[in-house]
Amino acid sequence: MGEVLVKIQPPDHPVHMPEPAAFSAEVESEIDRHLAKYPVKRSAILPLMFIVQRERGYLDPPGVQYLANRLQLRVTDIWEVATFYSMIQTKPVGKYHIQVCKTLSCKLLGADKITKYCSDKLGIKVGETTGDGRFSLSEVECLGSCGTAPMFQLNFDYHENLTTEKVDRALDSLP
């Protein structure tokens, strides 16, 4: 008893912990409103991730550090949740994220055509972002718009009953 079998060495290089992100008073009070909904802080993790994502473009390491501090969780707890959910972006995405629904009802009515049209128009493949960081193109699973197929979600906005003309109108009118 008492014999040390394995001695854990501290790392011989400095562990890089990013400074946590900082937000405006307005955003902080928005976060407080979410926290007030739940008896347990951790429950607010997804709503807060969306806020960090909105403010910083994606859930970056300083954003993760911020959430860990704010929710009194470990950084690994935040990553563990972040990597489960497809809407939480842990890498930068374009300013406009085109998410074409590829599931059956949309596929039956021409989702592939819409994806190809977007791909050709923007000069990127599915999963890529334009060089200027303006557009990302993804294929996603059913978005509950089957009766108005085909469709894509442009950031959070639904664009339904799509034709190539409607895709042009939607993308060309963006600021």
Which long-range contacts (C-beta less than 8 Å, at least 24 apart) are formed by 9-15? none
Question: One symbol per residue from 81 to 100: x for binding other proteins (CB under 8 A), - otherwise; what is it?
Answer: x--xxxxx------------
Rounded Cα–Cα distance for residues 162 and 175 (Å): 20
Please say whether the beta carbons of 31 and 66 come within 8 A. no
Residue window 110-139: x/- pattern of binding to other proteins, with contact defined by CB under 8 A? ------------------------------
For residue 129, the 8-state DSSP code is: B
Shortest spacing between CB 78 and other proteins, in angstroms? 10
Does 104 participate in binding other proteins (rule CB under 8 A)? yes
Dist CA 105 CA 59 (whole Å): 32
* Rounded distance between C-alpha atoms, residue 169 and residue 162, angstroms: 10
Of these, 37, 125, 173, 175, which contacts other proteins (CB under 8 A)?
37
Interface positions with other proteins (CB under 8 A): 37-47, 49-50, 71, 80-81, 84-88, 102-105, 107-109, 140-149, 153, 156-158
